[in-house]
Structure 1
Amino acid sequence: MDSELNLIDISPYLAMSGECDQQMTALCYEVSQNLREKGALLLKDPRCTLEDNDRFVAMVEKYFSSSLEFKLLHQRPQLHYQVGVTPEGIEVPRSLVDKKMKEEMKKLSKENRPSAPLGADLKWRYFWRPNSCSQPVIPEGFPEWEETMNSWGQKMMAAIEVVAEMTAIGFNLPKDSFTSLMKQGPHLLAPTGSDLEKYGKEGTVLAGYHYDLNFLTIHGRSNYPGLNVWLRNGKKIPAKVPFGCLLVQTGKQMEWLTGGECIASMHDLVVTNQTIDAISEAQDQKRCFWRVSSTLFAHIASDQILKPLGYLERSPLAIKYPPIIAEEYVEEELKVIHVKANK
């Protein structure tokens, strides 16, 4: 298995009219195989431009650089932080409280073993539901907030829907097998912010080793390095996203729907020597010291049932994925990773 993430340009699929021909089916198979074998891939979608990404990151940098008192106005703990800001020290990495995951971490070789988190994550997060009917949380003094959030969120959502279609085709399932379940899903645009002026020491764990509970996760390019992903074979690699590209990772809901054919992608966020170099460069250029990611979590709709689809229900691993309503599954996961909030 190649240790690097493959870059797939979906332009040919976007330009396609009618049914997939042999060449397009092969491209879809490549997408599904990357998610199956590596749990992640790099994506080129011409609709998601570098300018879009930079505009979004610049706005969120400005927000996270605001005062603590200002940011805390936008937290909604009564809604389990599923809208507005989540301060540092709230979200607990699964690897801190999951005994099975701790054992799995110990089995990894020394060079591939993740840094053990010492407590709740040091990152901040802002949850925004693109085009949601629910009452949004909009920071005062950011007139461009709603338009920028919705625009970037919609573009990344469109990219993830294409990946979902191509993955279904690659698995020899009906084209809409995943996208039909995603309709009206509680999708979340979730930029994260980490204060590198405060937590810029090499080796600091900003977000502990974990998987995402949703269906697929998509990231734009961050302004600082530090994200590590683990391939299915246990190899740890830095996530290097080229300019103008996106990173896609499998979530736990994808694992459920494929009966374990795809495994949720493990990852963490740590201050590395590359991060330190980027901090030094930012000091010289007098740039912001907040690391910002543009992340979107695509979900299966809350009232849909998570279970292996089609022929995948006959997979040897399918017994590990009994039917469960998506909303119930998400609530169970949130109880674990928001341990501090529950207390």
Structure 2
Amino acid sequence: MMERYFEQPAEFKRLQERPSLHYQVGVTPEGVEVPRSLVDEEMQMKLKSLPKECQPLTPTGPDPKWRYMWRVGPRPLTTKFQELNSEPVIPEGFPEWKETMDGWGSKMVSAIEAVAEMAAIGFGLPNDAFTSLMKQGPHLLAPTGSDLKRHGKEGTVFAGYHYDLNFLTIHGRSRFPGLSIWLRNGKKVEVKVPVGCLLIQTGKQIEWLTAGECIAGMHEVVVNSRTLDAIKAASQDNRSLWRVSSTLFSHIASDAVLKPQGHFARSPLADSYPPICAGEFVEKELAVINLKGNRGNL
């Protein structure tokens, strides 16, 4: 369904664009989101310290990817962060849209909740330490589309080196490879998701809740030689050349407070993670990557 949607003309897709809502519902066109590595000087310094073979490709501007934001799950009745909890946008001509998005999205959230409980137990916290904070969070199913017909050149950066600002990110296998992640030791690894499996990546909110014990995972999406092989195979089979990732960003509820949980509050690093409303944290992060007003300084 998302391949069909992304193949629509740009003027049709822009009807679902909601910049006034920080692009947190509807479509984000290509050329809007700025990769954090392009604007964060501290991150740029860290990158230069990595060995050459582990350095990410440097993007030259905003990401050439489209993304659709679809809110999953119940919304809070009252919230101080209305823009982060807005009504969904449904494109015309896709009668199965709501059922398909809600169906896949709710499965993704269930998988995240199971992992969040296991993580809490593993960290020696109450098993609902994370899931209780996720209740009525602005979870976003955010399928991302990259046009390999137009941008299928090796070395094209679809998503510049960045971390995710949310709690945990989950997605299925894309038809086209290209995702690389960085391990905690700074080593760069190309991701290969086995058939029938889902990938979960840690975001900034879980880093906050664990006082840096579980750091936000850095990653990028770039056209590489394996992507080119997949493009060739798809062309021969007359399949879509849109690279779609079925990403879901799970969030801590906007009005909940992000702060180190349980014994993590006594961590020597806890002071680096002061209490902040999750919605306020998200708004600050969105400003930096050009999705909310002018880019701010964190």
Q: Which of 90, 109, 131 in structure 2 is aligned with 1:179?
A: 131
Query: Counterparts of 2:256 and 2:103 in 1: how far apart (Å)?
Result: 27
Alpha-carbon distance between aligned partners in 1 of 2:146 and 2:65, rounded to the nearest angstrom: 5
Name which of 281, 285, 288 aligns with 1:336.
Answer: 288
Amino acid at match of 2:242: W
1:74 is matched with 16
List, as ranges, runs of 4+ consecutive aligned residues in structure 1 with deviation greater than 2 Å: 131-135, 339-343
Change in CA separation of 1:329 and 1:238 when aligned onto 2, cut-off 3 Å = same
- The answer to whether residue 220 in structure 2 is matched with residue 237 in structure 1 is no
Look up the SS of the partner of 2:133 in the other structure: helix
Q: Secondary structure of the residue that 1:127 maps to in structure 2? A: strand
1:341: Cα distance to partner?
5.5
Distance 1:209 1:226 in 2: 12
Residue 147 (structure 1) aligned with residue 89 (structure 2): no
Post-superposition Cα deviations, 1:33-69, rounded to whole Å, max 9, x if no partner, equal: xxxxxxxxxxxxxxxxxxxxxxxxxx10010011111
| SS of 1:128 mapped into structure 2 | strand
2:114 counterpart of 1:162: yes
Q: How many Å separate the matches in 2 of 1:321 and 1:240? A: 33
The separation in 1 between residues aligned to 2:114 and 2:45, in whole angstroms, is 36
- Cα distance in 2 for partners of 1:112, 1:317 equals 27
SS in 1 for 2:150: coil
Conserved in 1, the CA contact under 8 Å of 2:283 and 2:292? no
Q: Which residue of 1 aligns with 2:66?
A: 124
Aligned to 2:33: 91
Question: Distance in 1 between the 2:115 and 2:52 partners?
Answer: 34
Code of the residue aligned with 1:107 in structure 2: it is S
Secondary structure at the residue paired with 1:245?
A: coil
Give the letter aligned to residue 220 of structure 1: G
Q: Distance in 1 between matches of 2:179 and 2:186?
A: 16
Residue 263 (structure 1) shift: 0.5
Out of 173, 193, 207, the residue aligned to residue 255 of structure 1 is: 207
Letter aligned with residue 197 of structure 2? C
Give the TM-score of the pair, scaled to structure 2.
0.94
2:71 counterpart of 1:107: no
Change (3 A) 1:97 1:117: same
- The code of the aligned residue for 1:87 comes to P
Residue type at the aligned position of 1:88: E
Instruction: State the alpha-carbon separation in 1 of the partners of residues 222 and 239 from structure 2.
Output: 20
Q: Could you tell me how far 1:270 is from its partner in structure 2?
A: 0.3
Stretches of structure 2 lacking an aligned partner (at least 5 in a row)? 76-85
Q: Residues 340, 323 of structure 1: CA spacing in aligned structure 2 closer, same or farther, 3 A cutoff? A: closer
Counterpart residue identity of residue 126, structure 2: P
Aligned match of 2:88 in 136, 149, 155?
136
Structure 2 residue identity aligned to 1:316: P
Question: Could you tell me whether the CA contact under 8 Å between 2:139 and 2:251 is conserved in 1?
Answer: yes
Q: Which structure 1 residue ranges, 5 or more long, are not aligned?
A: 1-58
Contact map agreement 2:70 2:88 (CA 8 A) in 1: yes
Number of the residue aligned with 1:287: 239
Bigger shift: 268-277 or 123-132? 123-132
Matched residue SS, 1:197: helix
In structure 2, what is the Cα distance between the partners aligned to 1:170 and 1:340?
A: 36
- Deviation for aligned residue 1:135: 2.5
Deviation, 1:260, is: 0.5
Deviation track 1:61-91 (CA, whole Å, cap 9, x = no partner) reads 0100111111111100111110000000100
When the two structures are aligned, how many residues end up with a matched partner?
Answer: 285
Question: How much does 1:314 deviate?
Answer: 1.2
Q: Is 1:227 the equivalent of 2:169?
A: no
TM-score, normalization by structure 1: 0.81
Match of 1:21 in 2: none
Q: 1:339 to 1:332 in 2, by over 3 A?
A: same
For residues 187 and 267 of structure 2, the distance between their equivalents in structure 1, rounded to whole angstroms, comes to: 25
Task: Tell me if the contact between 1:215 and 1:253 (Cα under 8 Å) persists in the aligned partners.
Answer: yes
